[in-house]
Amino acid sequence: MHAQRRRRMLIATVMAGASILALLITIGVYGLILGPASVQPQAAPAAASSVASGAPPIAQPRPVSAGTDSETFARAAAMTVFRWDTRSPAGPSEWAQILMDVADPEEAAGLASDIRGYVPSIEQWEQLKVYGTRQRLAIDSAYVPDAWTTALAQAAPGQLPPGAVAYTISGQRHRDGMWDDEPIATSSAVTFTVFIACPRSQDCRLLRLSRLNEPLE
């Protein structure tokens, strides 16, 4: 139990950023990142450009690809975080659930809080649904940040789960939908960090997510 608590404190502290790595085992730091990162999806795409006519296929929630390769899993999880389609019968909870299905059980509560910062609320979902909005992520880069290397060096034995690693993801968030009967699309640069654990010869599990645009460097 004591080792599990130390582990959670370390992961949470690292998520707070490289500037406070010296506080890796300070009591109480874990609570600083429990609240969700507030992300306000647009009610309708703004500053959008017209796109080719013809409705794209409706996306449905699908499982995150399991595997033992850490970067492959981190990329798959990152894309799932941003992938949703309001035209689907599934609501925001169903899209979030596919991430929880690959969660590390000991970090599930914290991960659920993290995900709420990325997936629209029910109220926001209903607004976006009016425009048939869908979203996806195109990844430009995925790398292990220096701050994580420092955290590993400072971690006590047993403080992190086997195979724990962090990947900072940078890419473009794409949204498209309909506005005044015209297809439109928007995009914006995003960056964040995915914390995962890939024990030897076992499928990777999702630990936590950093706040949007507050990644480890």
Strand partners for 26: none
pLDDT at residue 84, rounded to an integer: 98
pTM of the model: 0.79
pLDDT bracket for residue 188 (50, 70, 90): very high
Average pLDDT value for the chain: 82
With a cut of 60, say whether residue 74 has pLDDT above it.
yes
Would you place residue 7 in the very low, low, confident or very high pLDDT band (cuts 50, 70, 90)?
A: low
Asked whether the beta carbons of 102 and 66 are under 8 A apart, the reply is yes
Q: Rounded to whole angstroms, how far apart are CA atoms 56 and 127?
A: 20
State the Cα–Cα distance between residues 82 and 59, nearest whole angstrom.
Answer: 12
Domain ranges (residues) in the chain: 2-38+59-209
In the structure, what pLDDT confidence band is assigned to residue 89 with cuts at 50, 70 and 90? very high
Alpha-carbon distance of 12 to 34, in angstroms, equals 8
CA distance linking residue 32 with residue 38, whole number of Å: 15
Least confident among 67-71, 102-106, 116-120, 176-180:
176-180
pLDDT digits over 95-118, tens only?
999 999 999 999 999 999 999 999
